[in-house]
Amino acid sequence: MVVVFCLGLLVSSLMERRAEVVSVFNNKRTVFTDSIVAQNEKFKADYPREYNTWAMTEDTSFESMYNGSEAVDVLEQRPNMVILWAGYAFSRHYNTPRGHKHALDDMREILRTGSPGVNGQNDMQPATCWTCKGPDVPRMMREMGLANYYHARWSELGNEMMNTIGCSDCHDARTMELKPARPALYEAWERAGKDVNKATHQELRSLVCAQCHTEYYFVKGTDYLMFPQDKGMTCEDAEAYYDEIDFYDYIHPLSKTPILKAQHPGYEVALQGIHGQRGVSCADCHMPYMSEGGVKFTDHHIMSPLANIDRTCQTCHRQDAETLRQNVYDRQMKATEVRDRAEDELAKAHIEAKFAIDNGATEAEMKPIQDLLRKSQWRWDYAIASHGATFHAPQEVTRLLSHSVDYAQQARLLIAKVCAKHGYTGDIPLPDISTKAKAQQYIGLDMPTLETNKKEFLETVVPKWIEEAKANGKLIALN
Amino acid sequence: MYLLRAHTYLGDDPSACINCHIMTPYYATWSHSSHGRDATCNDCHVPHSSLAAKYGFKAMDGLKHTAYFVTHSERQAIMAEDMSAEVIMNNCIRCHTQLNQEFVKTGRIDFMMAKAGEGKACWDCHRNVPHGGMNSLSGTPNTEGVTPLPPSPVPEWLQRLMD
């Protein structure tokens, strides 16, 4: 009897999977009248497949040859970067990125945001830093007005930023049509004579990503968020834009170079690659379509396409999965070889520049060296800051990195000449920067204090933010 | 078993292949192709060297498909495994013998030789035969209407239990 019943269950599961086809829109339970709905949980009932796959961005188990979905301390792996970012918050703490579901936690935990409110410390970042961290951002921009939002300090909005990157960041909640929620994208396109509202659906499947995964800067004084796309979408175009307005992110404390910090120009770099140029959108590979029970939907578990080669690469390419994976790794390895050379040369150049300054090099003598270092570091950072770049556009990345090596070496030649002029002809002594701790000590960072303050911040300030948000109905408590 | 249309698996009717919905995109693309007029799924996808080979292969493939289906482990872009590719290529050659063995020599090898680099598989050039450029289950969505699905025989109380 039992066996027959179990067989029956098996048979019925076979039968019933045929009829999994259901209509989403005919049975909509929650109708929104507002285009921005910050609480992602409110979409769960109507879009269970999208919601559930989105929720899986919490998973950190995927690993690839380069990066994965777990946070890995990059400064530990490549201590040279501590030297390159000396004088800037990135030298404190820099991890590989995790999934969207971790965006708020990661931002609160990273040492780059400081510990405002602890031991009398003030904010080191403006509210602009929240801009990509969730659907509460467009909500607050609307409530406060854009200029006021950008001008606020980071911790002022701590109790508002409660819902991590989700539905309303990319969708109009009323229709679920794709609609990037960040004004900076619309403004940049308008200045370049284009209109986001006229973009095709396929373009929007990249633009919803491009509203954040792009190079940006904060206008000095107002902290207004801008994209440097007026002159074009390449590394050199953005550099020309910054040079024209004399922009720099920080003065490097060793070489006194006005440095441009690149911020993940993922969209721009992808446009330089063959997939981008053939019109493949970000979502095509990072959010591949999926058929489940005869229902086709977009997988919202955004992650490396290498985790699902059967629905990403193989939708177009017929080679077997291991061949395709190796093709990707080969491209990444080659670009990474040059990257390591660039980081090595650049770190040495900064340290040697400091030696030249300490030994009497004049401002006029240092100017051409600093120009070269600025160019070199901009190219290096632009090439490495968007994490998938070595695959998205391997030739472009290798080109930028080789220019970076070249400029750094030109700078080192000039430094040697300047040093010789001031009577020093030997090898310039280099400190031991073989680990993150040694490098951070060399540039004078007091890591124990930074970490203690952060711990206290996470234990005292953040819980208060969450409590206030719950009381104000900004956060749906799930348990 | 009758309700599962199990008897249809013994015949050559292509509608047997869409008893479950996974294959519907492949049914839809085939039915619109030139092969859709005269060739059935089995003409290409099972061997025709002997009756034993035919049913042996069918049974093996069928059991594999059942296992993938009930465990929800179907790939999103279904690709022929090597043994299946061998069968398919032999069947290309079987029907198009004169064309590819006398007029040109491409049909004088089999898939394993092609894989070893001694030539090309038929579909390395004829890439769109017969399922079009379609390579993923999502490539031709909503194809369930091609043939009506059989009605559900599961009693209502059991359905409610399963939901």
* pLDDT band (50, 70, 90) for residue A28: confident
Mutation choice for B interface testing from A5, A309, A310 by most B CBs within 10 A: A310
Q: Over the stretch A188-212, which tens digit does the pLDDT of each residue have?
A: 999 999 999 999 999 999 999 999 9
A15, B158: Cβ pair inside 8 Å? Answer: no
Provide the CB-side half-sphere exposure for B43 (13 A, CA).
15
Contact A310, A299 (CB under 8 A): no
Half-sphere exposure of B41 (CA within 13 A, CB side): 20
Type of residue found at B53: A
**Which of A6, A25, A284, A291 to probe the B interface (max B CBs under 10 A)?**
A291
Q: Is the pLDDT of residue A182 over 50?
A: yes
Tokens, residue B17: 């292949």
Convert the pLDDT of each residue in A435-462 to its tens digit: 999 999 999 999 999 999 999 999 999 9
Query: Looking at beta carbons, which residues of chain A come within 8 Å of B159?
Result: 12, 16
Cβ-contact B134, A291 below 8 angstroms: no
ipTM summary value: 0.73
* 3-state SS, one letter per residue, for A88-123: CHHHCCCECCCCHHHHHHHHHHCHHHCCCCCCCCCC
With bands split at pLDDT 50, 70 and 90, how would you rate the model's confidence at A16?
Answer: low
pLDDT attached to residue B150: 58
Tell me the two tokens of residue A175.
Answer: 């229709």
Q: Say yes or no to pLDDT of A248 above 80.
A: yes
Q: Is B59 on the interface with A (CB under 8 A)?
A: no
How far, in Å, are A345, A381, B41 from residue A403 at the CA level?
12, 12, 56
Predicted TM-score (pTM) of the model is 0.87
Q: Do A296 and B24 touch (CB under 8 A)?
A: no
A316 CA: distance to closest CA in chain B (Å): 7
| Out of A330-334, B8-12, B94-98, least confident range | B8-12
Asked if the C-beta of B83 comes within 8 angstroms of chain A's C-beta atoms, the answer is: no
Write the residue in A17, A19, A291 that is nearest to B138 by C-beta.
A291
pLDDT at A308: 93
Split at pLDDT 50, 70, 90, the class of A18 is low
Does residue A84 contact residue A345 with C-beta atoms inside 8 Å? no
Q: Which two tokens stand for residue A473?
A: 């109905």
Nearest to B76 among A17, A18, A311 (CB): A311
- pLDDT tens for B57-68 read 999 999 999 999
pLDDT for res A479: 41
Three-state secondary-structure class, residue A171: strand
For chain B, percent of residues with pLDDT exceeding 70: 89
Q: How far is B40 from chain A (nearest CA, A)?
A: 22
Chain B residue at shortest CA distance from A5: B158
Find, in chain B, the residue whose alpha carbon is nearest to that of A293: B21
In 3D space, the residue among A414, A346, A416 whose CA is nearest the CA of residue A375 turns out to be A346
Banded model confidence at residue A217, pLDDT cuts 50, 70, 90: very high
pLDDT of residue A331: 97
Would you list the DSSP string of A414-470? Answer: HHHHHHHHTT--SPPP-----SHHHHHHHTT--HHHHHHHHHHIIIIIHHHHHHHHH
Task: Give the whole-number percent of chain A exceeding pLDDT 70.
Answer: 96
How far A284 CA lies from chain B's nearest CA (Å)?
A: 12
Residue A59 scores a pLDDT above 50: yes
pLDDT above 60 (res B80): yes
Task: Confirm if A180 and A227 have CB atoms less than 8 A apart.
Answer: no
Q: How far, in Å, CA of A368 to CA of A354, rounded?
A: 14
Of residues B139 and A166, the one with the higher pLDDT is A166
3-state secondary structure of A259: strand
Contact by Cβ (8 Å): A227, A188: yes
What is the full DSSP assignment across A26-83? Answer: GG-----SSS----GGGGTTT-HHHHHHHHGGG----B-SS-BSS--BHHHH-THHHH
Residue A20: is its pLDDT beyond 60?
no
Task: Note whether A80 and A433 are within 8 A (CB).
Answer: yes
Q: Is there a contact between B77 and A294 if contact means CB atoms under 8 Å apart? A: no
> A288 and B162: CB-CB below 8 Å?
no
pLDDT of residue B158: 74
Interchain CB distance below 8 Å, A290 and B158: no
A315-324 mean pLDDT: 92
Domain extents in chain B: 1-78+130-163, 79-127
Q: What is the mean pLDDT of residues A146-156?
A: 96
A433/A429 Cα distance (integer angstroms): 12
Q: Do B70 and A10 touch (CB under 8 A)?
A: yes
| Residue B84 structure tokens | 């299946």
Q: Which of A198-212, A387-401, B6-20, B114-128 has the lowest mean pLDDT?
A: B6-20
Whether B81 has a pLDDT exceeding 50, the answer reads yes
Residue in A closest to B22 by C-alpha: A294
Q: Report the range of poorest mean pLDDT among A381-385, A395-399, A470-474.
A: A470-474
